[in-house]
Structure 1
């Protein structure tokens, strides 16, 4: 039967942020097929080694302690992307070689392009690379927006080379959406020689169930209306979107709804965000044990991302919680819901979004109607089992998946 090596740039527990939600469910799916050996990095407390021990045949966790400036300096000297240098570990490199030598590893699944550097050139089994998104394009977007232009342009160029190398090395290269897959193919010199597949993100709709959680009591006791944004708040696209709501959208919303509140919910809010905490209409909550009570308390969930790659878990979570979601086209990528029925898609224009929200709240039946449609859509199209069904075949273990299902 053979065993599986799974390499991830973060510990896949707990599933509390976008990339870790996906890697967590990938690991669960792999563990149903064969014994799995996991190599990954740890960044801080709360990342569960005990959960890895319970699910895996073996594992290696390397601390990610290299400061970003040092990684950058090493990358420039070596002519490599900073992303690869920041996630390089001799400990993990040695463990991968030893595990392949000692175990019957039939397949390697690499989660995120930073980890492709650990696949030995002479490995004879199947290799599947889950890029998730085209990271090189993300850095190019940062450069185009005027952010650290030289560094981001360099990172975009070198990562594009690495992404092409990985596509040539892998038996299959995964992207989260058809749009990301098309973008990836367009950047390849020989796209016909790379097996590009799409496996979308799913949602645990039993966990994100509005019937299973009460609204946050503090928010529920305030008049509102209440708007919620969730995410890892030191991630630049999330920070940018939240600041845009605070600075551009909230003044217009509070002109129409004087007691409107915007709640930023997620770990590691930046200094720029914290500077707005407590200003009229803005509450920055930081890390919370459970985002569901905050979503449950919202009149609408906002996702006005200006830079977005792949499927946004925050959007699927809010839809599963039967909340109307107001989002930009970039945040809607990869989710085939219908504007006006399952959610509200608006260009990133404050006046337009404000008018759309006002119309939503003026209709007493609209929020519940759109929220119910959103949950139905998620249940029908975005369950994790359905999303990951092709995985067994891609890693060459379709027979094991069929035996397990039987």
Structure 2
């Protein structure tokens, strides 16, 4: 049985943000099939603290600190005519390590997680190549650029254009290109004109036993705030999340508080910018920052509010809220790729006024809110396990049943 080289732009530990949750489960599934060699980057010391877990799961690994500043990466990108996303993750040490692994190990498959890492696949490599792009990043930057102004808007439009070319190169080279939903896969195929039989959806899952409200004690600090308590979770240095929270603070929450003055919005997630931290404790807004475990905060909330204006793929924050039986009010983008039933499993609206009305309706009808939360969890149990999401991986890697039995 051949071995697998897995390349990820972030260490798949700890699984505490959307991309790392997905790469974590993919890595575990691959390691159950064959020996895996993992090359990845660390963002901070918390990532480096997980290196022991990484070593226990892989045959060998390289974990490099990603210390290149945005300014340096931007300059390299402008000089080289490359997307900033690629320049930010370009490191000669990673390239040299990949070459050594390919020269000394029987690598049958390279599995690339996120398009930034495809640059490390040598042109001479002739084995199987699977690339999990997750989302159509070029479309995301095009959306940023359409709204942006000045130099930043120009850079975002440039990034969208160059990434579109890089995505086309990746798709032509890969045996399989994976996206997180059928909608995202169809968008990718249509934009690039690539054969759809080589572009597939591989959805996200959720550990419903871990995200079980019956097993979680609600966070006391959040419970101490009068309700109804609305929650938004996510990586808070990510532009679409910042934009969604600002929308909730400035445009939706005031409409809710006009009729329910005690309503509060709780923002939970790492690295909130100073502009959000400055709002903590004012006009019903609470910004909690990084927490050790997101589940108690979800358990203490009355509903999830996710008014994303720019959203790609499947939102893990929505799956987690649903698994915790939390009624959720979503923008259309936030609900994309989740084939649950609107009105039963979650509520969808688009305008600020319509989102506020959905929040008010659920906040004022506890039975309706409880029924929606229970329906959401039932949908997760039936449709969104990681086992189901990754069930086709052995076929993608062309492992026979005999080799699977040997691996077991």
1:367 aligns with 2:351: no
CA–CA distance in structure 2, aligned partners of residues 25 and 138 of structure 1: 24
CA-CA distance at 1:404 after TM superposition: 6.7
User: Is the contact between residue 33 and residue 404 of structure 1 (CA under 8 Å) also seen in structure 2?
Assistant: no
Partner in structure 1 of residue 116 of structure 2: 114
Partner in structure 2 of residue 97 of structure 1: 99
1:297-318 CA deviation, whole Å, 9 max, x = no partner? 1110111100000000000000
Partner in structure 2 of residue 308 of structure 1: 311
2:234 is aligned, of 220, 231, 236, to: 231
Partner in structure 1 of residue 198 of structure 2: 195
Partner in structure 2 of residue 176 of structure 1: 180
CA-CA distance at 1:405 after TM superposition: 9.3
Residues 4-403 of structure 1: matches in 2 within 5 Å? 4-47=4-47, 48-147=50-149, 148-189=152-193, 191-192=194-195, 195-347=198-350, 349-399=351-401, 402-403=404-405
Gaps of 5+ in 1: none
CA–CA distance in structure 2, aligned partners of residues 157 and 386 of structure 1: 35
1:30-78 CA deviation, whole Å, 9 max, x = no partner? 0000000000011101111111111000000121111111111111111
CA–CA distance in structure 2, aligned partners of residues 402 and 271 of structure 1: 50
Query: What SS does structure 2 have at the residue aligned with 1:276?
Result: coil
Question: Kindly tell me: are residues 316 and 209 of structure 1, through their superposed partners in 2, closer, same or farther at Cα, counting changes over 3 Å?
Answer: same
CA–CA distance in structure 2, aligned partners of residues 110 and 255 of structure 1: 49
CA–CA distance in structure 2, aligned partners of residues 131 and 69 of structure 1: 25
CA–CA distance in structure 2, aligned partners of residues 373 and 334 of structure 1: 18
Question: Kindly tell me: are residues 326 and 52 of structure 1, through their superposed partners in 2, closer, same or farther at Cα, counting changes over 3 Å?
Answer: same
Query: What SS does structure 1 have at the residue aligned with 2:258?
Result: helix
CA–CA distance in structure 2, aligned partners of residues 227 and 221 of structure 1: 14
Gaps of 5+ in 2: none
RMSD: 1.4
User: Is the contact between residue 18 and residue 313 of structure 1 (CA under 8 Å) also seen in structure 2?
Assistant: yes
Query: What SS does structure 1 have at the residue aligned with 2:111?
Result: strand
Question: Kindly tell me: are residues 215 and 193 of structure 1, through their superposed partners in 2, closer, same or farther at Cα, counting changes over 3 Å?
Answer: closer
User: Is the contact between residue 249 and residue 350 of structure 1 (CA under 8 Å) also seen in structure 2?
Assistant: yes
Question: Kindly tell me: are residues 398 and 311 of structure 1, through their superposed partners in 2, closer, same or farther at Cα, counting changes over 3 Å?
Answer: farther
1:118-170 CA deviation, whole Å, 9 max, x = no partner? 01111121000000001001100000112522101111111111100000111
User: Is the contact between residue 109 and residue 397 of structure 2 (CA under 8 Å) also seen in structure 1?
Assistant: yes
Question: Kindly tell me: are residues 91 and 286 of structure 1, through their superposed partners in 2, closer, same or farther at Cα, counting changes over 3 Å?
Answer: same
TM score, norm. by length of structure 1: 0.97
Q: Which range moves more in the overlay, 390-399 or 264-273?
A: 390-399
CA–CA distance in structure 2, aligned partners of residues 204 and 193 of structure 1: 30
Number of aligned positions between the proteins: 404
User: Is the contact between residue 392 and residue 401 of structure 1 (CA under 8 Å) also seen in structure 2?
Assistant: no
